[in-house]
């Protein structure tokens, strides 16, 4: 099979943007080993130099409005950012901090005044910035941040202050070495009243690189990975900034100190502000999936040329990829990577539909659609980053000792992607967000994301949960009627490659789990138990329900991708991968399905046998399937996969 047609299909409508980044990565391949040959500060400066180069090439401006030097191509910008993950991941993360987070905060939270003053310099790299949200004491619980910004009407300034050590800004990209300004998230205090977390632009360094008065900057030091990113800590000691430093799209403070906002509900205002920054979460999930593609390309190519053992009495050793267990190690992960690719493509399409329209001056998006997008982004990011961690580890093991050598890139991939599971939202918290949205249909009274806020919401919405429970149970009963289970012992192989069977099984699991969660919450409240304790006792169930939902969404996205594919070999190969992914997903949860009467012992065995068979069917095309990812040669032509003169 030729990989070219499949690559064009995978690249989709943003092929040109992806190819621009591929070409740039190929031209600057020396960055791939910079972390091994340079000191930490030299490595950071090398990453900055490459960032300035891709800025000069025009990629970062692709997603910003044309009037500020951009191209107005939001989808192309995200596609290009994802493609950066084929190269040095420190470069990708630094680009994400600068353009996705810092410039994104100015664009989405600021108004015309901020756009005209700062945006052009931010997207052309002249103004390097930070996104100062996370604190030593608070990460995921953004509403509880400790930094304060208190308005002083006498001088028309905000006083930004770090009141205690726990309020120190921590892990902030660009803070240790290069950033000159920070988008600082702080509790806004006006007239002695706190109005919750808002964002202000605060200068932190002079043009000479020295910290400004009242600003203390320090280095987070060596990290597990991403050491080309200068993560640092920021402490503010009554730093004054003008009133206009407030990014005031959603809330304003006039010269006299009057606070106003069109969004009266503080919680709704807070989530609206954070919702506009969902692009970072979308981008990180896609980057993690692309990092998995790099690891799989290396491991599959290695397995296609490395020989080990062989049949007794034979002088020829067998290729690793011909071993059933090696196929089992890599090929289901390859299939899941394709599944996540299509799920990510659907997410980007929806993101561009909503936020692309808003940027072009359309009316504000429907809140329900935006909430749904946020949940979709949260779920895809969680599964995509967990998948990267699992896949890169398995690829490392599948390459033996060679995979442990830094020269073969898997070590850097493993270290640099590890943090993806916790930045832009801890994955466990994100799945909790997904499940809560499913249970409540994103009601406006939705509480905080922490367990206490959830418990309060549960207590207030017991009746709605009871209704939701009834609806979910009814749907689960309908699904039970159409999913084979009791009669499959006679013919356990029947329908195993049927799309309806795959989707029915995953949908049944999702709906059954949601109904179970709702039932447990309602029962706990009815028994008089404290709401916090009710939630805490079934938190694992909540997370599992969120995971089941995203598994189903990913499967259906893959199926849709197969159905849209060009007829012929491309679609045939994708359908084999889809079947492998679907059945491997069911197989991984077969204990649950058997516990709930959805799977008999004979059918469970038949699924395992078919997964093995599908691995054998996919094996001859495995090389083409990874080639179709289009990872630039320099990123995967590592010593262990390039034949040496000694072979």
Q: Which DSSP string corresponds to 271-302?
A: HHHHHTTTHHHHHHHHHHHHHHHHHHHHHHHH
**Number of neighbouring beta carbons within 10 Å of residue 256:** 9
**Is residue 156 packed enough to be buried (19+ CB in 10 Å), middle (13-18) or exposed (0-12)?**
middle
551-606 pLDDT, tens per residue? 999 999 999 999 999 999 999 999 999 999 999 999 999 999 999 999 999 999 99
Contact 618, 335 (CB under 8 A): yes
Question: What was the pLDDT predicted at 469?
Answer: 44
| 3-class secondary-structure state, position 446 | coil
Residues 92, 94, 100, 105, Cα dihedral to 10°: 170
Question: What was the pLDDT predicted at 523?
Answer: 84
Distance separating alpha carbons of residues 268 and 443, to the nearest angstrom: 10
Question: What was the pLDDT predicted at 193?
Answer: 94
DSSP 136-163: SS-SS-GGG---EEEEETTTTEEEEE--
Distance separating alpha carbons of residues 603 and 488, to the nearest angstrom: 6
Asked if pLDDT for residue 364 goes beyond 70, the answer is: no
**Number of neighbouring beta carbons within 10 Å of residue 232:** 24
Distance separating alpha carbons of residues 292 and 420, to the nearest angstrom: 12
Q: Give the pair of three-digit tokens for residue 320.
A: 């690793």
* Phi (first) and psi of residue 615, to 5 degrees: -60, -40
Alpha-carbon separation of residue 547 from 342, 499, 625 (angstroms): 17, 20, 27
299-320 mean pLDDT: 86
Question: What was the pLDDT predicted at 325?
Answer: 96
Distance, C-alpha 632 to centroid of its chain: 22
Alpha-carbon separation of residue 143 from 135, 425, 446 (angstroms): 11, 14, 14
The percent of residues in the chain predicted with pLDDT above 70, rounded, is 90
Classify strands 259-260 and 252-253 as parallel, antiparallel or unpaired: antiparallel
Residue 276: which pLDDT band, with cuts at 50, 70 and 90? confident
380-417 pLDDT, tens per residue? 999 999 999 999 999 999 999 999 999 999 999 999 99
**Is residue 22 packed enough to be buried (19+ CB in 10 Å), middle (13-18) or exposed (0-12)?**
buried
Distance separating alpha carbons of residues 293 and 304, to the nearest angstrom: 16
**Is residue 451 packed enough to be buried (19+ CB in 10 Å), middle (13-18) or exposed (0-12)?**
middle
Distance separating alpha carbons of residues 155 and 30, to the nearest angstrom: 51
Asked if pLDDT for residue 445 goes beyond 90, the answer is: no
Distance separating alpha carbons of residues 135 and 120, to the nearest angstrom: 28
Asked if pLDDT for residue 227 goes beyond 60, the answer is: yes
Which residues of the chain form CATH 1.20.140.10?
A: 279-627
| 3-class secondary-structure state, position 237 | coil
Residue 357: which pLDDT band, with cuts at 50, 70 and 90? low
Residue 10: which pLDDT band, with cuts at 50, 70 and 90? very high
* Phi (first) and psi of residue 452, to 5 degrees: -65, -45
Question: What was the pLDDT predicted at 449?
Answer: 36
Helices (H), 153-278: 266-275
**Greater model confidence, 543 or 56:** 543
370-382 pLDDT, tens per residue? 888 999 999 999 9
Closest to 544 measured CA to CA, from 471, 595, 499, 597: 595
- DSSP letter assigned to residue 439: H
Distance separating alpha carbons of residues 88 and 28, to the nearest angstrom: 10
Which residues of the chain form CATH 1.10.540.10?
A: 3-127
Asked if pLDDT for residue 431 goes beyond 70, the answer is: yes
CATH code for the structural domain at 279-627: 1.20.140.10
88-108 pLDDT, tens per residue? 999 999 999 999 999 999 999
- DSSP letter assigned to residue 364: P
Asked if pLDDT for residue 462 goes beyond 60, the answer is: no
623-645 mean pLDDT: 88
Contact 381, 281 (CB under 8 A): yes
CATH code for the structural domain at 130-264: 2.40.110.10
Question: What was the pLDDT predicted at 333?
Answer: 98
Average pLDDT, the chain: 88
Residue 629: which pLDDT band, with cuts at 50, 70 and 90? very high
Distance separating alpha carbons of residues 609 and 606, to the nearest angstrom: 5
Question: What was the pLDDT predicted at 359?
Answer: 45
* Phi (first) and psi of residue 211, to 5 degrees: -60, 140
Asked if pLDDT for residue 464 goes beyond 50, the answer is: no
**Greater model confidence, 248 or 461:** 248
Which residues of the chain form CATH 2.40.110.10?
A: 130-264
Torsion sign, CA atoms 517, 523, 525, 531: negative
Alpha-carbon separation of residue 86 from 16, 25, 29, 201, 206 (angstroms): 16, 8, 11, 32, 34
Contact 263, 91 (CB under 8 A): no
Distance separating alpha carbons of residues 636 and 455, to the nearest angstrom: 48
Asked if pLDDT for residue 455 goes beyond 80, the answer is: no
| 3-class secondary-structure state, position 233 | strand
Asked if pLDDT for residue 475 goes beyond 80, the answer is: no
Asked if pLDDT for residue 472 goes beyond 60, the answer is: no
- Rounded to two decimals, the pTM is 0.90
Contact 524, 533 (CB under 8 A): yes
For 188, the enclosing helix (H) or strand (E) is: strand 181-190
324-332 mean pLDDT: 97
| 3-class secondary-structure state, position 491 | coil
How many residues would you count in the chain? Answer: 647
Quote the CATH superfamily of domain 3-127.
Acyl-CoA dehydrogenase/oxidase, N-terminal domain (1.10.540.10)
Contact 8, 15 (CB under 8 A): yes
CA atoms within 13 A on the CB side of 349: 9
Question: What was the pLDDT predicted at 307?
Answer: 87
């Amino acid at each position: 099979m030729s990989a070219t047609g499949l690559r064009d299909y995978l690249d989709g409508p943003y092929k040109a943007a992806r190819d621009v980044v591929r070409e740039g990565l190929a031209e600057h391949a020396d960055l791939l080993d910079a972390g091994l040959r340079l000191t930490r500060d030299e490595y950071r400066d090398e990453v900055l130099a490459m960032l300035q180069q891709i800025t000069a090439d025009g990629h970062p401006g692709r997603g910003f409005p044309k009037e500020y030097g951009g191209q107005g191509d939001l989808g192309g910008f995200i596609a290009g950012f994802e493609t950066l993950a084929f190269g040095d991941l420190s470069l990708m993360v630094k680009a994400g901090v600068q353009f996705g987070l810092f410039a994104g905060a100015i664009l989405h939270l600021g108004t015309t005044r901020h756009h005209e003053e700062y945006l052009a310099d931010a997207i052309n790299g002249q103004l390097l910035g930070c996104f100062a949200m996370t604190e030593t004491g608070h990460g995921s619980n953004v509403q509880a941040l400790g930094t304060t910004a208190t308005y002083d009407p006498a001088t028309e300034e905000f006083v930004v202050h770090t009141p205690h050590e726990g309020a120190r800004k921590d892990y902030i990209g660009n803070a240790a070495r290069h950033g000159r300004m920070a988008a600082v998230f702080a509790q806004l205090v006006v007239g002695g009243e706190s109005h919750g977390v808002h964002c202000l632009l605060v200068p932190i360094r002079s043009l000479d690189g020295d910290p400004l008065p009242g600003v203390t900057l320090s280095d987070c030091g060596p990290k597990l990975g991403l050491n080309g990113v200068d993560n640092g800590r920021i402490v503010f000691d009554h730093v004054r900034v003008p009133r206009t430093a407030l990014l005031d799209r959603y809330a304003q403070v006039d010269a006299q100190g009057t606070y106003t906002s069109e969004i009266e509900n503080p919680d709704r205002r807070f989530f609206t502000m954070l919702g506009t920054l969902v692009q970072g979460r979308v981008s990180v999930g896609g980057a993690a999936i692309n990092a998995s593609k790099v690891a799989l390309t290396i491991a599959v190519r290695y397995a296609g040329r490395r020989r080990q053992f062989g049949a007794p009495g034979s002088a020829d050793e067998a290729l690793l990829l011909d071993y059933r267990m090696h196929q089992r190690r890599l090929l289901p992960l390859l299939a899941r990577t394709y599944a996540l690719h299509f799920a990510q493509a659907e997410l980007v399409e929806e993101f561009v539909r909503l936020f692309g329209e808003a940027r072009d001056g359309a009316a504000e998006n429907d809140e329900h659609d935006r909430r749904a997008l946020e949940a979709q982004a949260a779920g895809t990011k969680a599964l995509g980053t967990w998948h990267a961690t699992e896949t890169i580890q398995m690829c490392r093991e599948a390459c033996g000792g060679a995979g442990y050598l830094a020269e073969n890139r898997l070590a850097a991939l493993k270290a640099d992607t590890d943090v993806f599971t916790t930045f832009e939202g801890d994955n466990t918290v994100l799945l909790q967000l997904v499940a809560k949205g499913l249970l409540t249909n994103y009601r406006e009274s939705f509480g905080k994301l922490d367990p206490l806020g959830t418990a309060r919401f549960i207590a207030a919405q017991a009746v709605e949960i009871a209704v939701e429970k009834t609806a979910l149970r009814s749907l689960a009963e309908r699904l039970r009627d159409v999913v084979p289970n009791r009669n499959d012992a006679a013919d356990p192989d029947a329908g195993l490659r049927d799309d309806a069977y795959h989707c029915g099984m995953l949908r049944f699991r999702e709906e059954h789990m949601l109904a179970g969660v709702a039932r447990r919450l309602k029962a706990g409240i009815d028994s008089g138990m404290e709401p916090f304790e009710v939630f805490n006792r079934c938190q694992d169930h909540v997370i599992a329900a969120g995971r089941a939902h995203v598994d189903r969404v990913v499967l259906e996205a893959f199926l849709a991708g197969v159905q849209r594919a060009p007829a012929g070999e491309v679609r045939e190969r994708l359908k084999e991968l889809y079947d492998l992914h679907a059945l491997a997903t069911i197989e991984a949860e077969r204990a649950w399905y058997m516990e709930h009467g959805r799977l008999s012992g004979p059918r469970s065995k038949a699924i395992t046998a078919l997964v093995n068979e599908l691995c054998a069917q996919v094996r001859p095309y495995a090389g083409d399937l990874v080639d179709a990812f289009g990872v630039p040669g320099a990123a995967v032509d590592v010593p262990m996969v390039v034949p040496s003169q000694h072979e």
